[in-house]
Amino acid sequence: MPPPPDLSGRHVVLGVTGSIAAYKAASLVRRLKKAGAEVQVLMTPDAERFVTPLTLGTLSEQEVLTDIFPENEEGSWTKHVTLGQWADLFVIAPATAQTVAKLAHGFCDSMLTATALSARCPLLVCPAMDRDMYQHPATQDNLDRLRKIGYEVMPAAHGELASGLVGQGRMPEPGDILQRVADLMAETKASGKAQDMPLAGHTVLVTAGPTREPIDPARVLTNPSTGTMGYAVAAAAAERGASVTLVTGPTSLSPPSNVEVAAVQTAEEMNDAVQARRADADYVFMAAAVADYTPADPSGSKRKKTDEDLVLPLRRTPDILKTLGAHKRTGQVLVGFALETDDALEHARHKLEEKNLDWIVVNDPTEDGAGFGSSTNRVTLLRADGASEDLPRMPKAEVAEILLDRVQAAREKNSA
């Protein structure tokens, strides 16, 4: 028996639907895991009649999802979107005639179908049904429709069926599905399809995290930024094929893979790093929380507690964003971030105009689930032409994806 393919680090969503062949999903999950893949199983309610979520959850080491709004899940109402972005491949095995019809016509009534509509990855359909159902013109039309959409469809296998008939309609064997999964993964990696790598050939500059302005060798002025938003933008841009440079203040986050990192401490250092790289960037995302002021005369030794009241003279730090706006080249896209607590949109629009930005992302840290230290955010996207879009609270990784979608679409429209 040949060794299993190497799927280390790859993400597979496995959809299981209400066919007697659903019991074979357990073998498929086991094979995918043995090959090194991370597997998230989605089940339709009818699939639970044939195999239990406990079985597939135990084998996949992930809680099986069925409902479109799963309980006990962060960002549950957008979980289908998150999974659609996470997956490298979506496999539906077995795929019943009902599910094939729903996929062919864009139905969205379960976690499985909602995730299929959200997925950006290849989708592999493995039909399983009785012979006459499979041969019916409606089913064949639906399978042809899926192929035209761009889905991969494995032909049903020939053999004895649950009804006692013999013919084509059996779910392909788990070993054959695994091999097709491996082939699709290899094809996707080798081809670098434009729709999967829409930023290939582009350079992206992102800033993230706080700055630390020294008062003395032991103390600094800083803020609670964790860098999560900027790191999410950098990771999303790299996933889309961009050459990404992340200029980051001090954080506890691990840098995203395939990203060049320039670590800085102060606003002055961040300004130097950004200005040295700005000319080559096609997109600039200024997500860092840069200090507006720094001690005018930092002490070379630790200040002692000699006075009840300490007066600390401050001076302005460089306005990095304003300098970028003043030197923005034709075709370059400049995106700023604004954290405001009062009259947020008014102040953000003023900043957008004053600093010659193309976009600004504004949020209010006093709102629940927004701002510093949170894994979620609730932002408004403002565009230079006056357009705006309110995004509900969602994980920062999803905010980053939507922001890139909007910015890319606008740039392509303007350059058309």
Give the CATH number for residue 252.
3.40.50.10300
| Percent of the chain scoring above 70 in pLDDT | 94
Strands 203-208 and 166-170: unpaired
Neighbouring C-beta atoms of residue 37, cutoff 10 Å: 26
Indicate if 363 belongs to the active site.
no
Helix (H, G, I), strand (E, B) or coil at 162: coil
Sorted by sequence, the CB contacts under 8 Å of residue 51 that are 6+ apart come out as 16, 22, 23, 25, 26
Residues 340-399 pLDDT 10s: 888 888 999 999 999 999 999 998 888 877 778 778 889 999 999 999 999 988 889 899
Instruction: Give 274-327 pLDDT, tens digit per residue.
Output: 999 999 999 999 999 999 999 999 999 998 888 778 889 999 999 999 999 999
- Domain match, 225 and 181 both: no
Other beta carbons within 10 angstroms of residue 91's beta carbon come to 27
Supply the CATH number for residue 129's domain.
Answer: 3.40.50.1950
Residues spanned by the domain of 38: 11-191
- The predicted-structure confidence for 152-209, as pLDDT tens digits, reads as follows 999 999 999 888 899 999 999 999 999 999 999 887 665 544 445 789 889 999 999 9
pLDDT in tens, 31-70: 999 999 999 999 999 999 999 999 999 999 999 998 877 6
- Please check whether residue 347 is in contact with residue 338, taking contact to mean a CB–CB distance below 8 angstroms: yes
Same domain, 384 and 406: yes
Domain boundary among 191, 213, 238: 191
Residue 300 lies in a domain: no
Tokens 């960037």 identify what position?
281
Question: How many structural domains compose the chain?
Answer: 2
Q: Is the torsion defined by CA of 160, 161, 164, 168 positive or negative?
A: negative
Instruction: Give the separation between CA 221 and CA 223, rounded to whole angstroms.
Output: 7
Cα of 39 vs its chain's centroid, Å: 17
Q: Within this chain, do residues 134 and 27 fall inside the same structural domain, yes or no?
A: yes
Q: What is the pLDDT of residue 323?
A: 97
Shared domain for 178 and 242, answered yes or no, is no
Query: Does 196 reside within a domain?
Result: no
- Statement to judge: residues 21 and 110 lie in one domain: yes
Task: Please give the model's pTM, rounded to 2 decimal places.
Answer: 0.57
Catalytic residue, chosen from 223, 258, 271, 356, is 223
User: 298: which 2 tokens?
Assistant: 């930092």
Would the pLDDT of 3 be above 80? no
Helix (H) or strand (E) holding 263: strand 259-263
What confidence tier does 71 reach under pLDDT thresholds 50, 70, 90? Answer: low
pLDDT tens per residue across span 261-288: 999 999 999 999 999 999 999 999 999 9
Confidence of residue 77 (pLDDT cuts 50, 70, 90): low
